[in-house]
């Protein structure tokens, strides 16, 4: 019995790197689970062919059942990591998009007011302070803080 198909790149190479690694891990784990299950099936088939009771598995299948259980647990963990990575990436994309929408709205609002350059800078400064919680890069003494 061979482990053919454990790593199959397929369309996965077109995914962003943050998604590719978790997806490959899930595919590898799923293939390993399938391989171990095939080993178990073959052992049971040989047991039955040699007039063994089909309802009582042979002793040699027990370690493979434990291995199957471990591989399934690892597959579930890999799947959860892949899902978490996808969710995190979606959250980042959404926050970036929301930031762009807010920025575009603020700029459009300022453009409609036809402010002087000084007024525009004052408005931008006030918006910046509101968005950053009032942090302006200076400490209480007015000295610039290195970041």
pLDDT in tens, the chain (147 residues): 344 444 444 555 666 666 677 778 888 889 999 999 999 999 999 999 999 998 888 999 999 999 999 999 988 988 898 888 888 888 999 999 999 999 899 889 999 999 999 999 999 888 888 888 876 555 556 555 554
Within-domain flag for 137: no
Q: 38, 6 in Cβ contact below 8 A?
A: no
Question: What pLDDT was estimated at residue 5?
Answer: 40
Length of the chain in residues, anyone? Answer: 147
Within-domain flag for 100: yes
Q: 31, 5 in Cβ contact below 8 A?
A: yes
| One-letter-per-residue 3-state SS of 97-140 | HHHHHHHHHHHHHHHHHCCCHHHHHHHHHHHHHHHCCCCCCECC
Within-domain flag for 144: no
Within-domain flag for 141: no
Within-domain flag for 37: yes
Within-domain flag for 125: yes
* Structural domain total, the chain: 1
Q: Which residues have C-beta within 8 Å of that of residue 62, sequence separation ≥ 6? A: none
Within-domain flag for 106: yes
pTM, rounded to two decimals: 0.54
Within-domain flag for 57: yes
Question: What pLDDT was estimated at residue 101?
Answer: 94
Which residue range(s) make up the domain with 121? Answer: 10-131
Instruction: Report the distance separating Cα 40 and Cα 2, nearest Å.
Output: 14
């Amino acid at each position: 019995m061979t482990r053919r198909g454990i790593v199959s790149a397929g369309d996965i190479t077109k995914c962003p790197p943050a998604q590719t690694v978790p997806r490959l891990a899930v595919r590898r784990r799923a293939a390993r689970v399938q391989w171990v299950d095939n080993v178990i099936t073959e052992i049971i088939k040989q047991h039955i062919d040699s007039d063994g009771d089909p309802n009582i598995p042979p002793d040699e299948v027990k370690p493979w059942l434990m291995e199957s259980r471990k591989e399934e647990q690892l597959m579930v963990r890999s799947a959860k990591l892949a899902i978490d990575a996808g969710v995190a990436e979606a959250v980042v994309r959404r926050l970036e998009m929301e930031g762009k929408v807010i920025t575009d709205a603020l700029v459009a609002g300022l453009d409609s007011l036809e402010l002087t350059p000084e007024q525009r800078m004052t408005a931008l400064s006030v918006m910046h302070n509101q968005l950053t919680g009032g942090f302006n890069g200076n400490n209480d003494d007015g000295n610039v803080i290195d970041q």
